[in-house]
Structure 1
């Protein structure tokens, strides 16, 4: 009796989870052994992390236990950290063992891209995981508590957010909503609190509709955010940031949202990468490997104009569906399906009850866009967990 093929999926982000769930539905019993590896026993909703980071929601609302999503009779879950990928040997080295595979899916997620800016890696915080947002939330609260003990240190109430892309804009929107609550709780004059959003590009939300960007910046400015656009951060220190023009902003908190690169394990494994990402073929495979598929932040997919698609949750989810189809096709000897991204719309939240977005050709802003963002969140929850998960997590804003 021939051995069934082994599929190993690295990472339970959007791409990895959707690949696993689709394989559960597509594969026949005993047609393949599927193993999902993740360092946590939960999947977290990246597009929701800005809220618990600012303290406007609980971290638990952004996480879903993997055991509640997968069928343990169809997918084995291994809680471990990936240490090394050895594509030549068809092996993955974990911190506590080794897995062999016939087919590999790499969805390990990305790492902050600091662009070589001195001090960012050491002194700036990032919104990248449940643990990181807990740290940011507690740190922000601690700054207010420290200020009450050291009232001369006004920089403790200065918050710098590097990057005005979607993550940066969504976070400053939530932070601006949280500040009045913190000022009331700690009896602090709101006029002493300063939020800076610094972006090196000529505009906030680069590539987004200019009319909606103007609306977002005006609304956030009214909430107390100071924008410094077309202004690069030159250095980050324990005391704050040095920006273009040699201006130094003293700050007790620096949060970096300015970019993501692929996981360093890809370069270590010998794959050819661009900013840590593998430029996949039309079937999402790593060049030179018919048995290795790549999704999410680790993959580089070009749009029809020859530019990379931004690594969003939307594209990772669609990659997971395509990846599962192609894995089953590979096992059965059927034709593979080319990956074609379908943009179903983009929405950025600006705090409670406010957002901007484009769905098709329709521009949205205000409460309408905020409602659309909630619909998008609910649709994803339904995709991975059905109606029970939508009901459980229905408070996602």
Structure 2
């Protein structure tokens, strides 16, 4: 097939889905790709629990998008812009400073913590960790709070009370990692002040709703071992700077709270004139196209998709990566006038971090529990980061060579 001009492909969002689509599309030199994100980095949200509990610093959970894109063969550009709207009729994405035309568009803007307006004090006094800057802020507050407790040595020491709202994957992993970190911190340092209370507020009877019963059992057993208190069948009703009131009337003392009780699509989605479901997520067809425009694809946490059994797929990194590759393949098929393929995205497995050197999971039907699951999870995370860093280093080298010339 003869090509007289480049295929202009714009990807909005540098998360798991966006980067996987980019990597696939960049292999075709007839494609001219622009990646746009309001942040200059890719944030590995699967490692956020390690960041908060001091196992990683921010450089180990982020990759510079400019150097990453520069590492490709001159057909990929990164723009740090916040997109305000999309003109679908004239095929332009619009920021405050630019209008970028496209032939094909991938929307991969992800999701953010949903701070429910009916919960008094939630936005003012709780922290989300979906964004790197919020996770960093909470990490610093956590460290400072530990320091202040140590500084109270020799006097009466009040407990440090951490409330985590939401018994899903994020809430469970963060609870376990913080409790595990605290136990080792106090064990390795001979401090008198050893009071850390972690309370996980869960809206149902068991944590990890809709996950495999065996994984729920493993997780709850280990949370109990780590002295994490689970408040069952309860929701956060209101917050003050020092107290949380639950729906059952119980009040909890609080130094700070992480809210992991819900997500919603990122802000751009609300400005787009595209069909959305009742929860506000963009609607797609079986090819991951927007139901409104065949040249617009939607991937990642800003949409909801279902497997072949009509079961809703969870918003995980693995699901997002599969969606990104599927959208890239179908754009290629559109370009070369080939029949589109229905997505075959499925949950291939799940690994749940439950503190230092411990995890549980189910991968391709096999259960893992303990150190072996931890090693597998870490290996997957390190391989993912290695590939990104390799591409980014290539970009750095190209930039330095250009500057020297």
Change beyond 3 A, Cα 1:381–1:193: closer
Normalising by structure 1, we get a TM-score of 0.89
Partner of 1:92: 93
Q: Which runs of 5+ in 2 are unaligned?
A: 394-405
Residues 69-127 of structure 1 show CA distances to partners (whole Å, capped at 9, x for unaligned) of 64150111111222223323322122332212121111111011234433222221011
Change beyond 3 A, Cα 1:237–1:72: farther
Partner of 1:392: none
**Aligned residue pair count:** 384
Structure 2 residue matching 1:249: 3-state secondary structure:
strand
Structure 2 residue matching 1:64: 3-state secondary structure:
strand
- Could you tell me whether the CA contact under 8 Å between 2:9 and 2:33 is conserved in 1? yes
Among 250, 266, 274, the alignment partner of 1:247 is: 250
- Could you tell me whether the CA contact under 8 Å between 2:111 and 2:265 is conserved in 1? yes
Change beyond 3 A, Cα 1:344–1:305: closer
- Could you tell me whether the CA contact under 8 Å between 1:283 and 1:338 is conserved in 2? yes
TM-fit CA distance, 1:145 = 3.7
- Distance in 1 (alpha carbons) for counterparts of 2:33 and 2:368: 41
TM-fit CA distance, 1:185 = 6.3
Partner of 2:8: 6
> Equivalences for 1:221-236 in 2 at 5 Å?
221-236=224-239
- Distance in 2 (alpha carbons) for counterparts of 1:273 and 1:345: 28
Change beyond 3 A, Cα 1:59–1:382: closer
Change beyond 3 A, Cα 1:222–1:82: same
- Could you tell me whether the CA contact under 8 Å between 1:49 and 1:129 is conserved in 2? no
Structure 2 residue matching 1:159: 3-state secondary structure:
strand
- Distance in 2 (alpha carbons) for counterparts of 1:142 and 1:213: 33
- Could you tell me whether the CA contact under 8 Å between 1:144 and 1:186 is conserved in 2? no
Change beyond 3 A, Cα 1:72–1:41: farther
Structure 2 residue matching 1:320: 3-state secondary structure:
helix
Normalising by structure 2, we get a TM-score of 0.88
Structure 1 residue matching 2:307: 3-state secondary structure:
coil
- Distance in 2 (alpha carbons) for counterparts of 1:352 and 1:292: 42
TM-fit CA distance, 1:140 = 0.7
TM-fit CA distance, 1:388 = 9.7
Structure 2 residue matching 1:318: 3-state secondary structure:
helix
The alignment yields a C-alpha RMSD, in angstroms, of: 2.5
TM-fit CA distance, 1:215 = 2.3
Structure 1 residue matching 2:19: 3-state secondary structure:
helix
Change beyond 3 A, Cα 1:302–1:118: farther
Q: Which runs of 5+ in 1 are unaligned?
A: 390-397
Change beyond 3 A, Cα 1:182–1:245: same
